[in-house]
């Protein structure tokens, strides 16, 4: 073999090795840049005392490329945040309950177009003109049932006058009583004609109980958390030592929450009772009643992103995470967004002014959380804070998203 030929083969081998290594080297460089950007966002939020404590997980292709616990789980006790900290999940409860309900649909124990009265015959709210419309299970999933939340109303709103709980206050309240109060209030629009974020998932919890003949927490454990071995996520708190202290937005820094805490939100206020989780008489709110960890929630998201694993069929997860409301607007997020079965779905990134890819699905939780899954970029992101509501909407979540996408 000539020296020229040997040199050529060596060069070709070096080229082949470089081609094999470059994607990995590029990914590692990208991940290092992401870590630097996200660290800066977290550090600024903590230094400015907008956020008290936070746990973040970012996974790409199922591999965790960023994880961090920072700040305090309890500021006054100087207790540092840990990655296995347990949070009041608020609306991060909804994907668990939605998944449980969809597993029952797969087993033909429920039908998407069943009327709610098939399972909860006593729930018969009326429109302002006195008509009694049909509400379907599908409309509960998509928040098109004509219900709302009390925190969207001013203090003299009909939900407040009827003492309807949003599922995070009034410790000790029974679900049947709360649904009785809810049914006594006129619907805010005819079912199916608009989108309105609401107590629909609390009602779905009652449907699940009636369809299976078992309490909602037991059904969620059996269909979701136990198959995925999510040991820290439930409607009860097992390890109080890891439960974070919640804080409310205030000036000059977030204030430690007390029971019956009201945090201004739009024209109304969100009411919190942190002690609710300790009261066994409090109904298991399907929309807001669970506690859990960032790691457990990431496992759920990754399971759904990759087709449903042990808990749902791939076809079901595709339906769940696809826009199901046509062109109905989603005022909570603005232009470019639709809604699937339990979460918002990005239809038009340009209209939404979002760096996320079309078909991204996401939501948040009013105790201070936000999350999203971008299937096209194979990303799953969970950000849990103990600061309401700055951890859910506003400067901090927006900065986290920008850092993840390098924008």
CATH number at 184 reads 3.40.710.10
Whether pLDDT at 182 is above 60: yes
Band of the pLDDT at 4, cuts 50, 70, 90?
A: very low
Mean pLDDT of 135-159: 97
Reply yes or no on whether 273 is catalytic: no
> Binning pLDDT at 50, 70 and 90, where does residue 7 land?
low
End-to-end CA distance of the chain: 53
Check residue 31 and give its pLDDT: 87
| pLDDT, mean over the chain | 94
If you write DSSP's letter for every residue of 254-310 in order, what string do you get? PEEP-TTEEEEETTEEEEE-GGGGG-TTS---TTT--EE-HHHHHHHHHHHHTT-TT
In a domain, 242, yes or no: no
Q: Could you tell me how far CA 271 lies from the centroid of its own chain?
A: 18
Residue 209 has pLDDT above 60, yes or no: yes
- Model confidence at 381: pLDDT above 50: yes
Question: Does residue 28 sit within a domain?
Answer: no
Q: Does 161 map to a domain?
A: yes
Q: Is the pLDDT of residue 404 over 70?
A: yes
Q: pLDDT tens digit string along 310-319?
A: 999 999 999 9
Segment 389-403 mean pLDDT: 98
The reported pLDDT for the residue numbered 384 is 98
Answer yes or no: is 338 within a domain.
no
Q: Report whether pLDDT(24) > 60.
A: no
Token pair, residue 180, equals 């009785």
Average pLDDT over residues 97-116: 98
**Over 70: is that where the pLDDT of 5 sits?**
no
Q: Which of 90, 91, 165, 354 is catalytic?
A: 91
Asked whether the beta carbons of 289 and 170 are under 8 A apart, the reply is no
Residues in CB range of 273: below 8 A, 6 or more apart = 168, 169, 170, 171, 259, 260, 261
pLDDT attached to residue 47:
98
Domain tally, the chain? 1
Q: What is the mean pLDDT of residues 295-302?
A: 98
- Residue 26 pLDDT > 60, yes or no? no
Residue 113: pLDDT over 70: yes
> Residues 6 or more apart from 265 whose CB is under 8 A from it?
151, 366, 389
The residue length of the chain stands at 407
Average pLDDT on 45-54 reads: 98
d(CA 246, CA 243): 9
More reliable by pLDDT, 25 or 284: 284
State residue 407's pLDDT score: 84
pLDDT for position 25: 43
Q: Residue 287: inside a domain, yes or no?
A: no
Does 187 fall in a domain? yes
Q: Which domain holds residue 175?
A: 98-222
- Give me the percent of the chain exceeding a pLDDT of 90: 92
162-174 confidence digits (pLDDT tens):
999 999 999 999 9
Cβ-contact 88, 367 below 8 angstroms: yes
Position 2 in a domain: no
Q: Which DSSP string do the residues of 64-93 spell out, in sequence order?
A: EEEEEEEEEEETTTTEE--TT-BEE-GGGH
Residue 165 domain-assigned? yes
Look at the alpha carbons of 335, 340, 342, 346 in this order and tell me if their dihedral is positive or negative: negative
């Amino acid at each position: 073999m000539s020296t020229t030929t040997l040199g050529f083969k060596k060069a070709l081998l070096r080229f082949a090795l470089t081609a094999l290594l470059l994607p990995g080297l590029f990914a590692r460089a990208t991940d290092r840049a992401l870590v630097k950007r996200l660290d800066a966002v977290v550090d600024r939020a903590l230094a400015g005392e907008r956020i008290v404590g936070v746990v973040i997980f970012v996974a790409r292709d199922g591999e965790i490329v960023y994880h961090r616990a920072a700040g305090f789980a309890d500021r006054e006790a100087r207790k540092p945040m840990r990655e296995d900290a347990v949070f009041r999940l608020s609306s991060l409860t909804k994907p668990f309950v939605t998944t449980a309900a969809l597993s029952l649909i797969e087993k033909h124990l429920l039908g998407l177009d069943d009327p709610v009265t098939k399972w909860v015959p006593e729930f018969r709210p009326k429109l302002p003109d006195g008509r009694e419309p049909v509400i379907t299970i599908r409309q509960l999933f998509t928040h098109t049932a004509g219900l709302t939340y009390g925190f969207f109303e001013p203090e003299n709103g009909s939900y407040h006058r009827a003492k309807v709980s949003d599922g995070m206050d009034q410790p000790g309240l029974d679900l049947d009583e709360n649904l009785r109060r809810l049914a006594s209030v006129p619907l805010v629009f005819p079912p199916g004609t608009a989108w309105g974020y609401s107590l629909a998932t609390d009602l779905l919890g009652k449907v699940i109980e009636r369809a299976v003949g078992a309490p909602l927490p037991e059904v969620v454990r059996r269909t979701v958390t136990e198959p995925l071995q999510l040991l820290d996520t439930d409607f009860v708190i097992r390890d109080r030592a890891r439960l974070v202290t919640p804080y409310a937005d205030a000036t000059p820094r977030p204030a430690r929450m007390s029971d019956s805490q009201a945090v201004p939100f739009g024209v109304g206020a969100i009411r919190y009772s942190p002690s609710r989780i300790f009261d066994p008489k409090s109904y298991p709110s399907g929309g807001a009643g669970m506690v859990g960890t960032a790691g457990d929630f990431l496992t759920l998201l990754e399971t759904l992103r990759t087709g449903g694993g042990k808990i749902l069929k791939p076809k079901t997860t595709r339906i769940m995470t696809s826009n199901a409301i046509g062109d109905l607007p989603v005022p909570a997020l603005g232009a470019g967004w639709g809604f699937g079965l339990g979460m918002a779905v990005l239809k038009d990134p340009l209209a939404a002014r979002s760096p996320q890819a079309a078909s991204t699905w996401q939501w948040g939780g009013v105790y201070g959380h936000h999350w999203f899954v971008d299937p096209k970029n194979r990303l799953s992101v969970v950000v849990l804070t103990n600061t309401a509501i700055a951890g859910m909407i506003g400067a901090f979540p927006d900065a986290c998203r920008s850092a993840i996408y390098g924008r």
